[in-house]
Amino acid sequence: SSEMTQDPALSVALGQTVRITCQGDNLRNYYASWYQQKPGQAPVLVIFGNNNRPSGIPDRFSGSNSGNTVSLTITGAQAEDEADYYCNSRDSGGDHWVFGGGTRLTVL
């Protein structure tokens, strides 16, 4: 099994840019996806394949990767982006899946 580490909490001023990161050795070998979860709701896919946006996700959401770190960037954060964000990828063995601990994003 692998661990993926996220900052527990971040804040961003309305309209500013925030980067949410996820670190793990498994990320050197496998793609990551990102999920947004608002209170009382199921998670929603916002990025897959490190940097691809599903249809319907605003283009202010983008993803990137470097070495053992993947990032989710929100450019021009909106009030509705306040949520928990989770990264996900395969573990180092490739047959199991692991989530990061999640980052709670507050939009000020």
Partner 1 sequence: QLQLQESGPGLVKPSETLSLSCTVSGGSISSNSYFCDWIRQPPGKGLEWIGSNYYSGDTYYNPSLKSRVTISADTSKKEVSLRLTSVTAADTAVYYCARHHTGWDWYFDLWGRGTLVTVSS
Among 15, 101, 106, 108, binds partner 1 (CB under 8 A): 101
Residue 31 or residue 76: which is nearer to partner 1 going by CB? 31
Which of 33, 70, 71, 74 forms a contact with partner 1 (CB under 8 A)? Answer: 33
* Residue reference for tokens 């209170």: 39
Residue 31 interacts with partner 1 (CB under 8 A): yes or no: yes
With CA atoms as reference, report the closest residue to 18 among 82, 99, 88.
82
The strand pairing partners of 26, in sequence order, are none
Give yes or no for residue 96 binding partner 1 (CB under 8 A). Answer: yes
Cβ-based nearer residue to partner 1, 18 or 50: 50
Q: Cα dihedral angle (82, 63, 61, 85), rounded to 10 degrees?
A: -20
CA pair distance 59, 97, nearest whole angstrom = 27
H helix and E strand count, the chain: 0, 10
Does the footprint of partner 1 cover residue 38 (CB under 8 A)?
Answer: no
Residue 83 CB, shortest distance to partner 1, in Å, is 13
Interface with partner 1 (CB under 8 A), residue from 2, 48, 69, 76: 48
